[in-house]
Chains A and B, each alone.
Chain A
Amino acid sequence: MKAGHKFLLGAVAIVAAVGFMIAQGVKETGVYFLTPTELAERTAADSSFLNAGVKVGAKVVPGSIRRDETSRQIDFLISDGVHQLPVSYHGLVPDTFTDQQEIEVIVEGRLGRDGVFQATDVLAKCGSRYEAVPGQQA
């Protein structure tokens, strides 16, 4: 076999391995990213969906955060304007996480049978984080 062919074989093996790892990786670590409405529809259609880990992106309902600092427990509501979803989280949240205004959050975890979303991770993104609106403050 010529060296060029042998190299091609090795190259194909690498490309195939990368492709396979990507496909497997997506299958095993991919997480649905849904709105509260989509989550409600999916679980209504198929209750086994309750076991799937999902990410939900929505806005924090202003004034809904209940914190218990001693046990580091946080409960709050998120909403996409149609559906409200109660979320429960144990741990520390980022500084950006407040209910002063409607901030965007992404919560990762699973929906419990009691309808409360048990989050394992809370990411907060504030729209005015890097782009402040001058008129509002002044």
Chain B
Amino acid sequence: MTLLGQFALWAAFLLALWTAAVGFSGAWRGRPGLALAVRRGVYAILGALLVASAALWYGIVTHDFNIEYVAAYTSRNLPKPYLISAFWAGQKGSLLFWAAVLGIFAALAQALTPRRHHGLLPHVAAVTSVTTAFFVAVMLFGDSPFARLAFTPPDGRGLNPQLQNIGMVLHPPMLYLGYISITIPFAFAIAALLSRRLDAGWLGAIRKWTLVSWLFLSIGIVLGMWWAYVELGWGGYWAWDPVENASFLPWLTMTAFLHSVMIQEKRGMLKRWNVALIVATFLLSIFGTFITRSGVIASVHSFAQSGVGYFFLAFLVSAGILSFTLLYTRWPELEPESRLESTVSREAAFLFNNLLLVGIAFSVLWGTLFPILSEWLQGTKVTVGPPFFNRVNVPLGLLLLALTGIGPLIAWRKASAGNLKRQFAASAAVGLAVAAALLASGMRDGYAVAALTLAAFVGGTIVQEFWRGVRARQRMHGEPAPLALMRLVGRNRRRYGGYIVHVGIVLMFAAFAGMAFKVDQEATLRPGESVTVASPFGHELGFTHLGVSQYKALNRIVSAATVQVTRDGRPLGVMKSEKRQHVDSFDRPTFEPSTEVGILSGLREDIYVVYAGSVGGTEEAVYRFTVNPLVWWVWFAGGVLVFGGLVTMWPGASTPNERRQSQSGYEVPLAEVRS
């Protein structure tokens, strides 16, 4: 099967080169047959990549340990679901996964784009194919998933225990789907530049795609946070690690794009900026892959150091140079149609929102690359860590949070004093009341107070919007409130879906503020001994060590330590944390031992127990107890965010109202973009 797989990769590579060459050459102009052939090339590439994927999957499922990849990431006793995730758990498999998914997206873009935009499609095919060709080339000339070993080991090494977690089954593919789907909007932008079809048409064609990428990136990031929290055992969900940062960067620029594109639709401004943002987002997604794979920056998440990174660096640099050169040659054709009229207007609020998002992205990029930059410039490596990122990004994030409340409500062109008062007076009062209450209750962390105050303000503006919308429907149509709410959201999905996303963001900021009050305590306890921790909500949590038990499970030997937890003397329950030694099917240990943390999650705080080992094989156990406030709300906010995103992109007929709203410069009704 590896022969078939390798052959399929070559077929995909040659097909992609042909499609890209003909697509870019423009020889298909005036020759509909050739244009169609270019578009069909995309389907052929997909076919070849699916064959290659099936070949690898076959090797994994049949335990063909002669294939290096299968031996390195699976074993006979690996639970079934992880056989599936083994496909993308390692470097080589994830390259194939990437190429195959890009093939699927590229084919969908060809198949689903409405006829009106068909003039762009051969160029789109060229861009997606050249990207596919690159990924396939990395496999063919760098790191093939089908490489065979000189001998056949009786069993594989097995999957890293930290990857044996449902979060890790889902997190990488979600993130990859986000990264990969960015290629489609990028391809449309390049196609629009190449073919000089620079009206708002291409924006309409990619609207759904940008939302899809944004949604997958968001899901991937939140799942990654969740995985880090439950699996890595250091008690937090975000450490500003280079690989985490790399996933955050395209999310930031994509978020900026989703906002600035509205300004182009309504007012014909920011055309160059929008193209630049899409190009930057694509480059950052490739950069993210480069960081993850090259090992140029030390990270706990990175794949082992390998030469594959330099393929990515070369691709990144050439894609960047070519894209921005192309943008430069089309500069005069992207003249804005109108000018900013006031700094107190929706346009200005969105511009500032974009500047802040890009500013955050820049500082994160700078901090991530600083070890390399400082080594080049000064000859000494200097690193920056969480203190740097928090210092720079917390104030910027808070400004952005304030704009989340202001942007959607402030008037277009120029806001009058009356508009400002009508839209913001009530919410500002709510925010100030919350600030006063927090200060009165003794909270002294400035950033936390500011975050919660602004969250209350933004929350107020959103509630007000929903309230006014529902009231208007009740008056006009005599609908009962729940029905009015459903129809309000259903008929203005983009607007109210956006508000729901904002609710998610607000909740997330509030939850992040909670982490300022986390407490932890390490202790070495004999059975029966206990320790107390003062929780940030003023309770006294008691932990009594009960004992350590050992047993053998499916593919591991487990030492489980249990503690009795009490709050203010009342029992809360028994918590368990495990040390796991994974073994292969011959009972030999594989990998280092790993820790399974115990988490008791509540609306106000999580109790997080880590069993770090025993003293000399006795039942005397070493523990870390952590109290993490508001963590549950991070996951809940993630759910709200995703729900809001789904609402904005849910297909359905647009209403006359929506069409009227979108007439200036944005002619594509939602219905035509959907599948």
- Give chain A's interface residues, CB within 8 Å of chain B: 3-4, 6-7, 10-11, 14-15, 18, 21-22, 24-26, 28-34, 38, 55, 57, 69-72, 91-92, 94-96, 98, 100, 106, 123, 125-135, 137-138
Q: In the complex, A129 Cα to B346 Cα: how many Å?
A: 49
Q: In the complex, A100 Cα to B581 Cα: how many Å?
A: 15
Q: Which residue of A lies closest to B595 (CB)?
A: A95
Q: Which residue of B lies closest to A123 (CB)?
A: B300
> Interface with A: B218-226, B354-362, B554-562, which one?
B354-362
10 A-B residue pairings within 8 Å (CB atoms): A3-B345, A22-B362, A25-B384, A29-B388, A32-B381, A32-B383, A71-B524, A123-B300, A130-B302, A133-B72
Cβ contact within 8 Å between A32 and B359: no
Q: In the complex, A102 Cα to B408 Cα: how many Å?
A: 56
Q: In the complex, A128 Cα to B371 Cα: how many Å?
A: 24
Chain B residues 376-404 with CB under 8 Å of chain A are 380-385, 387-388, 391-392, 395-396
Q: Which of B366, B370, B374, B594 makes the CB contact (< 8 A) with A95?
A: B594
B370: chain A residues within 8 A (beta carbon): 26, 30
Cβ contact within 8 Å between A134 and B156: yes
Q: Which of A7, A15, A91, A134 makes the CB contact (< 8 A) with B522?
A: A91
A132: chain B residues within 8 A (beta carbon): 72-73, 157-158, 160, 590-591
Q: Which of B65, B160, B624 makes the CB contact (< 8 A) with A92?
A: B624
A57: chain B residues within 8 A (beta carbon): 298
- Give chain B's interface residues, CB within 8 Å of chain A: 65, 68, 71-73, 89-91, 149, 151, 153-158, 160, 163, 233-234, 298, 300, 302-304, 339-343, 345, 348, 351-352, 355-356, 359, 362-363, 366-367, 370-371, 374, 380-385, 387-388, 391-392, 395-396, 522, 524, 584, 588, 590-595, 610, 612-616, 620, 622, 624
Cβ contact within 8 Å between B588 and A137: yes
Cβ contact within 8 Å between B392 and A21: yes
Cβ contact within 8 Å between B592 and A95: yes
Q: Which of B65, B590, B592 makes the CB contact (< 8 A) with A98?
A: B592
In the complex with contacts A29-B385, A95-B593, A134-B71, A18-B362 CB distance below 8 A: yes
In the complex with contacts A4-B339, A131-B303, A31-B68 CB distance below 8 A: no
Q: Which of A22, A98, A135 makes the CB contact (< 8 A) with B363?
A: A22
Q: In the complex, A55 Cα to B382 Cα: how many Å?
A: 9
Q: In the complex, A96 Cα to B89 Cα: how many Å?
A: 19
Q: Is the interface of A mostly helix, strand, loop or mixed?
A: mixed
Cβ contact within 8 Å between A69 and B356: no
A135: chain B residues within 8 A (beta carbon): 149, 151, 153
In the complex with contacts A4-B340, A69-B616, A92-B612, A22-B622 CB distance below 8 A: no
Q: In the complex, A3 Cα to B340 Cα: how many Å?
A: 6
Cβ contact within 8 Å between A26 and B340: no
Cβ contact within 8 Å between A33 and B382: yes
Cβ contact within 8 Å between B341 and A72: no
Q: What are the nearest 7 A-B pairs in CB distance?
A: A138-B153, A131-B304, A33-B381, A132-B157, A69-B615, A134-B71, A18-B359
A92: chain B residues within 8 A (beta carbon): 522, 610, 612, 622, 624
B163: chain A residues within 8 A (beta carbon): 130
Interface centre among B149, B156, B395, B612 (most CB of A within 10 A): B612
Cβ contact within 8 Å between B614 and A29: no
In the complex with contacts A3-B342, A69-B620, A131-B363 CB distance below 8 A: no
B158: chain A residues within 8 A (beta carbon): 132
Cβ contact within 8 Å between A34 and B380: yes
In the complex with contacts A4-B340, A25-B388, A132-B72, A14-B356 CB distance below 8 A: yes
B624: chain A residues within 8 A (beta carbon): 92
Cβ contact within 8 Å between B351 and A134: no
Q: In the complex, A51 Cα to B410 Cα: how many Å?
A: 52
Q: In the complex, A134 Cα to B348 Cα: how many Å?
A: 58
CB distance from A26 to the nearest CB of B (A): 6
B300: chain A residues within 8 A (beta carbon): 123, 125
Given A3-B339, A30-B370; 11 other pairs, CB 8 A cutoff: A3-B343, A11-B351, A11-B352, A14-B352, A14-B356, A22-B367, A25-B367, A32-B381, A69-B613, A70-B620, A92-B612
Q: In the complex, A3 Cα to B380 Cα: how many Å?
A: 45
Q: In the complex, A7 Cα to B14 Cα: how many Å?
A: 50
Q: In the complex, A126 Cα to B362 Cα: how many Å?
A: 30
Cβ contact within 8 Å between B384 and A30: yes
B72: chain A residues within 8 A (beta carbon): 131-134
B524: chain A residues within 8 A (beta carbon): 69-72
Q: Which residue of A lies closest to B383 (CB)?
A: A33
Cβ contact within 8 Å between A30 and B351: no
A127: chain B residues within 8 A (beta carbon): 304
A96: chain B residues within 8 A (beta carbon): 592
Q: In the complex, A3 Cα to B351 Cα: how many Å?
A: 13
Q: In the complex, A138 Cα to B585 Cα: how many Å?
A: 11
Q: Which of B302, B351, B388, B594 makes the CB contact (< 8 A) with A7?
A: B351
Cβ contact within 8 Å between B343 and A22: no
A38: chain B residues within 8 A (beta carbon): 380
Q: In the complex, A25 Cα to B613 Cα: how many Å?
A: 37
Q: Which of A4, A14, A26, A137 makes the CB contact (< 8 A) with B590?
A: A137
CB distance from B6 to the nearest CB of A (A): 19
B157: chain A residues within 8 A (beta carbon): 132-134, 137-138
Q: In the complex, A89 Cα to B157 Cα: how many Å?
A: 32
CB distance from A99 to the nearest CB of B (A): 11
B371: chain A residues within 8 A (beta carbon): 33
Cβ contact within 8 Å between B340 and A7: yes
Cβ contact within 8 Å between A134 and B153: yes
B298: chain A residues within 8 A (beta carbon): 57, 106, 125
Cβ contact within 8 Å between A31 and B384: yes
Q: In the complex, A55 Cα to B153 Cα: how many Å?
A: 40
Cβ contact within 8 Å between B395 and A21: yes
Q: Which of A34, A129, A134 makes the CB contact (< 8 A) with B68?
A: A134
A71: chain B residues within 8 A (beta carbon): 524
CB distance from B150 to the nearest CB of A (A): 9
A91: chain B residues within 8 A (beta carbon): 522
Q: In the complex, A130 Cα to B161 Cα: how many Å?
A: 10
A130: chain B residues within 8 A (beta carbon): 89-90, 160, 163, 302-304
B392: chain A residues within 8 A (beta carbon): 18, 21-22, 25
Cβ contact within 8 Å between A10 and B343: yes
Cβ contact within 8 Å between A138 and B71: yes
Q: In the complex, A34 Cα to B383 Cα: how many Å?
A: 10
Cβ contact within 8 Å between B391 and A21: yes
CB distance from A122 to the nearest CB of B (A): 12
Q: Which residue of A lies closest to B615 (CB)?
A: A69
Q: In the complex, A126 Cα to B593 Cα: how many Å?
A: 12
A15: chain B residues within 8 A (beta carbon): 355, 359
B374: chain A residues within 8 A (beta carbon): 30
CB distance from B294 to the nearest CB of A (A): 13
B340: chain A residues within 8 A (beta carbon): 3-4, 7
